[in-house]
Structure 1
Amino acid sequence: MTFVARAVLTAAISSAALGSTPAISLAEPNNPECIAPAQPGGGFDITCKLAQATLQESGAVKSPVRVSYMPGGIGAVAYNAIVGNRRDEPNIIVAFSAGSLLNLAQGKFGDYTEKDVRWVASIGTDYGAVVTRADSEYKTLGDLMSAIKNDPTSVIIGAGGTIGSQDWMKAAMAARAAGIDYKTMRFVAFEGGGDCAIALQGGHVHVCMNDVGDSQAAIDGGAPLKLLAIFSEERLPGKLAQSPTAKEQGFDIQWPIVRGFYVGPDVSDADYKWWADSFATAIKSPGYAAALEQKNLFPLPMTGEETTAFVEKQVAAYKKLASDFGLATK
């Protein structure tokens, strides 16, 4: 089955599970806000702006959703702020990704676990990507891995987060597949993908382990970058079809990245339901597919308890993966 067929099937199954468009009868929170837990320009920013666009276009919200930024620890600062101090604020949703769940699996959000917030919705999926400058000497992922294998200190790898983050994990998985000791990698941590892309353009790093969504957005905006490899099973559709997968270059690695939202643990059932119903409406709206395409994302529609079950399953899988790489888990 092709990628497009699978995406359509996923959307159809999820739409059927959602049933008819829910009637949103509960009161809309005042001044709705989406917190992107990083600097502007990265995946969390894209996630919030996707919510902003689809919720308003679908009519699910009457007031524009404001996007704010709370960088720190690839989501840790925002998670601790919501669970610790803003537990019951009904107007706030916070963006999360696969990276957030991987960090939770390793206990990087302090004392808190995936049980400490209410998971509202997944709005789409992204994929990990290896990004270089357009004029890079590395023409393939094999070229890059060969250079690292010959001299690990010769290649500076940039990524969002420290050792154990999802960007570090993508690099480590590629290194392991190439027969390289991933512990020898020369690794520079950034707060997010946007910061890494800026450093890459400035020549401060040779490659970024970023995501397709924010990397392609930078390319669309004129950044002199290229996607050396995408961690998807098959080539992605549309303009992304020009970019090869890691798998077809001999590195059988997939890294899908869920993009979704949570609210505080003490948000009322009524307000939680309002957000879940609003996203269910947005996901079923005619503009949903177009908004995903504009942000270089793909369908992964889930709301409410389905999202919670997905998160718990993913955290369990990430604990095993982290353990395989000798990382502590919680």
Structure 2
Amino acid sequence: MRLEQLQAFLAVAETGNFQQAAQKCGVSQSTISRQVQSLEATVGLSLFHRQGNAKLTLGGDRLLPHAKKICQIWATAEQELTDLQAGKQTELCVAGIPSACAYQLPPILQKFSRTYPNVQLRVTTLGSDRALKVLKDGLIDIAIVMNNPFLTASSEMVITRLYEEKIQLLLPAQHPLSKKEVITWRDLDNFPQAVFKDGYGLQRLVQDQFNRQGIRLNAALELNALEAFRGVVKQGSLIALLPETFLVELNYDSDLVVRSLSEPNLTREIVLVTTIDRIQIPPIQYFCKLAAEMVQQEIPVILKSALSS
């Protein structure tokens, strides 16, 4: 049973005439007749009385509501796909790491909404690993995450590099290490730290670095919000390794000290990830392009300002 057979059947049922049905469908009468005959052969019943006007048989009458429903479902699906291709999607879902959601995304979302006012934006803060998983599961359209080649190495993924940033040390002003101008990785051995929860790329990056240096990461407290680190470190006993873009504004807090660590530098790469099928949709394509342009313009300005202050 094919869709064009059901459409031919409906046209004849609505007009009561094979010739008029052919005119309505824009095909020849023989084509309509052939489609109806093929449908009758498939169901094993005659669907029309053919003396005079084409009237439905008992079998045709039973098939009619189902044929209408099937054709209506297809018409709706066709319209939705056409709207999607034209950029008329109802929502766009983005998941990002905490720093991106707090600092990079707000101006992007504002500008996007001016161009696509009818697209509802849904933004969720997630760790990198979790964000990439829900992207693969089709629950979001775009992920802004710390790059992890093990999770993004797929032919389905489209990856746009946004920026690279250093990981720096946040300390309470009265901490013993705050008196040192040059802090080495070995200096951090066994000091109690506040760290991101498991599933956040930064937590894995820091742990790997400690392993390479042969020192112990004393994870005394796990958090999942950047602002929480500020409050916890201010209490005076914990330190934290955090992204440079977040720490820029904390340079002005007299209760806190930000220090870079000596070689080797620890950096992370932030990328925007979507999928090949999604990048073809106009609003998603526009969002990706807009994010790349705005972030790549903004980040150097932020870091330059911090260095000059």
Q: Is the 8 A contact 1:160 1:167 kept in 2?
A: yes
Q: Give the aligned partner of residue 160 of structure 1.
A: 196
**Aligned partner (choices 95, 102, 105) of residue 144 of structure 2:** 95
- Measured at CA, do residues 274 and 174 of structure 1 come closer, stay the same or move farther in structure 2, by a change above 3 Å? same
Q: 2:168 aligns with which of 115, 126, 129?
A: 129
Compared CA separation, residues 140 and 175, structure 1 to 2 (3 A): farther
SS in 2 for 1:216: helix
Residue type of the partner of 2:246? D
Q: What's the CA shift for 1:223?
A: 7.3
Q: Which residue of 1 aligns with 2:32?
A: none
Q: Indicate how the Cα distance of structure 1 residues 36 and 280 shifts in structure 2: closer, same or farther if over 3 A, else same.
A: closer
Q: Does 1:292 align with 2:303?
A: no
What amino acid is the match of 1:121? T
CA distance in 2, matches of 1:82, 1:172: 25
Provide the secondary structure at the position in 1 that maps to 2:175: coil
State the alpha-carbon separation in 2 of the partners of residues 54 and 254 from structure 1.
35
Query: Which of the numbers 238, 258, 261 marks the counterpart of 2:269?
Result: 258
Indicate the structure whose relative CO is greater, using CA pairs within 8 Å and at least 6 residues apart: 1
| 8 Å CA contact retained: 1:159, 1:190 | yes
- Cα distance between partner residues in 2 of 1:66 and 1:219: 33
Question: In 2, Cα distance between the equivalents of 1:292 and 1:143?
Answer: 25
Q: How does 1:34-183 map to 2 (within 5 A)?
A: 34-38=94-98, 42-49=99-106, 51-52=108-109, 55=112, 66=121, 68-71=123-126, 74-86=127-139, 92-98=141-147, 101=148, 105=150, 114-115=153-154, 118-138=157-177, 139-140=179-180, 142=182, 145=185, 147-148=187-188, 152=190, 155-162=191-198, 165-167=201-203, 169-170=205-206, 173=209, 181-182=214-215
- Aligned equivalents of 1:160 and 1:123: distance in 2? 22
Q: CA deviation at 1:156?
A: 0.6
CA distance in 2, matches of 1:265, 1:211: 29
Q: Deviations over 1:101-134 (max 9, x none)?
A: 1xx63xxxxxx65327533533333221112123
* Alpha-carbon displacement from aligned partner over 1:16-35 (angstroms, at most 9, x marks no partner): xxxxxxxxx95264444432
**Residue identity matched to 1:258:** E
SS of the residue aligned with 1:254?
Answer: coil
Residue-by-residue CA offset, 1:230-252 (whole Å, 9 max, x unaligned): xxxxxxxxxxxxxxxx3xxxx32
> Match of 1:158, as an amino acid?
A
CA distance in 2 between partners of 1:162 and 1:274 (Å): 33
Q: In the aligned structure 2, how far is the partner of 1:43 from the partner of 1:52?
A: 12
Q: Aligned letter for 2:165? A: D
Aligned residues of 1:47 and 1:260 also touching (Cα < 8 A): no
Task: Give the letter for the 2:263 counterpart.
Answer: D
1:175 Cα offset (Å): 7.6
Cα distance in structure 2, aligned partners of 1:65 and 1:217: 31
Q: How much has 1:213 moved relative to structure 2?
A: 0.6
1:193 positional shift: 3.9
2:219 to 187, 193, 198: 187
TM-superposed CA distance for 1:185, in Å, is 2.9
**Structure 2 counterparts to residues 234-313 of structure 1, below 5 A:** 246=261, 251-264=262-275, 266-267=277-278, 270-271=280-281, 275-280=284-289, 283=292, 289=297, 291-293=298-300, 295-296=302-303
CA deviations over 1:31-55 (Å, ceiling 9, x no partner): 44432245xxx34533433533565
| Kept after mapping to 2: 8 A contact 1:131/1:209 | yes
Alpha carbons of 1:292 and 1:116: their partners in 2 closer, same or farther (altered >3 Å)? same
The reply on whether 1:226 has 2:265 as its aligned counterpart is no
Q: CA deviation at 1:262?
A: 2.0
- Please point out which of 243, 264, 268 is paired with 1:211: 243
- The residue type paired with residue 217 of structure 2 is M
Tell me if the contact between 2:135 and 2:142 (Cα under 8 Å) persists in the aligned partners. no
- Confirm or deny: 8 A CA contact 2:167 2:241 kept in the other structure: yes
**Which residue in the other structure is 1:319 paired with?**
none
The whole-number CA distance in structure 1 between the counterparts of 2:267 and 2:120 is 26
User: Is the 8 Å Cα contact of residues 163 and 271 (structure 2) preserved in structure 1?
Assistant: yes
Unaligned runs of 5+ in 2: 1-84
Q: Is the 8 A contact 2:248 2:303 kept in 1?
A: yes
Is the radius of gyration larger for structure 1 or structure 2? Answer: 2
- Secondary structure of the 2:247 match is helix
In structure 2, distance between residues paired with 1:68 and 1:164: 17
